[in-house]
Amino acid sequence: RVTELERKVRIIANLPGTVGIGGEDVVELAPEGEGAPALPVGVPVDRTPPPPPGLEGRGGGEPLDPSEATGASFFEVLDDHALDLTEGADHRADSLEVLLLQLEDKRERLVSMPSIWPAKGWLTSRFGVRVSPFTGRRQKHAGIDISAASGTPIYAPARGRVTFAGRRGPLGNALVVDHGFGVKTVYGHTREFFVKPGDVVERGQEIAAIGSTGRSTGPHLHYVVEVNGKPRNPLDYILD
C-alpha cells in the first residue's frame, strides 16, 4: 500500500524536501514529532552489512530464574514492537494519502486557472470603470476587450466544460466555460463557436472566433472572468 502511494507521489511532482540518496529519492513527510525520521522511498530500510565471519559476537549472561525461562516477557515486547511498527506504517500510509490528495487538488486548480490570453490582438478596454463608447458616460466594465480582425481565433485559457453557447443579449453570440473551483469565463461578441455545451475543453484549444455580434462598435472579444459569481480582473490571472 505504502509503496504504491510513494510511486504515485514521485510521479506527480517534485516535492520540496526531495533529495538524492544513492541514485534514489526520499520524500520527507510532515514531522510526526520532534526528531521524526523521513520516510525512505526506493531505498532499502536497512543497508547495514552483516559482520565479517568470526566476528558474530555472542555472550552469555546471568542464569535466568526458572520463572523467567519461558521467555514470555520477550514475546510480549516483540508483540508490542510489531504493533508499533504496524501503527507507524499505517500512519505513514495515511500521511501519503493526504499528501497525494493535496497534490491532485493543486494540480487540478492549476490546469483550471485561466492563465493565458484568450486571443491575440489589442487591449482596447480594461476591467473596471470606463467611458462607454455608446453613451460617453462612465460605467462599470465587467471584463476586458481585445480588438482583432473578425475570425481571429479565441482559445480556452484553461481546462473546463462549456455550459452555454448562444445569444446573450448585448453580448451577442456568447460562450461560457465552467473551469470548476467557482471559476467561469465568458466570451462575448463572437462570430462563431467551435464547441457546444457539454464539451470539455483544454487550455489552448480553439473554441470560437472573434466577431462583432450584439452591441459592438467593431470586431473584438469581450472577455470576463467570474469567481463565485462575481467578475474579477482577467489580467490578474494571465501569466504569459
Greater model confidence, 12 or 121:
121
Q: Which of 78-92, 100-114, 130-144, 213-227 has the highest mean pLDDT?
A: 213-227
Spatial separation of the C-alpha atoms in residues 219 and 141, rounded to whole Å: 17
The CA–CA distances, whole Å, from 25 to 10, 13, 98 equal 8, 12, 20
pLDDT at 34 over 50: no
Spatial separation of the C-alpha atoms in residues 65 and 74, rounded to whole Å: 14
- The neighbouring-strand residues paired with 185 are 177, 225
Contact 208, 190 (CB under 8 A): yes
pLDDT category at 93 given cuts 50, 70, 90 is low
Taking only the tens place, the pLDDT of each residue in 166-185 is 999 999 999 999 999 999 99
Spatial separation of the C-alpha atoms in residues 85 and 94, rounded to whole Å: 14
CB proximity list for 63: less than 8 A, separation 6 or greater: none
The confidence score (pLDDT) of residue 91 equals 64
pTM of the model: 0.59
Contact 2, 90 (CB under 8 A): no
Structural domains of the chain in order of their starting residue, each with its CATH number: 1-45+96-112 (no CATH), 122-236 (2.70.70.10)
What percent of the chain clears pLDDT 70, i.e. is strictly above it? Answer: 61
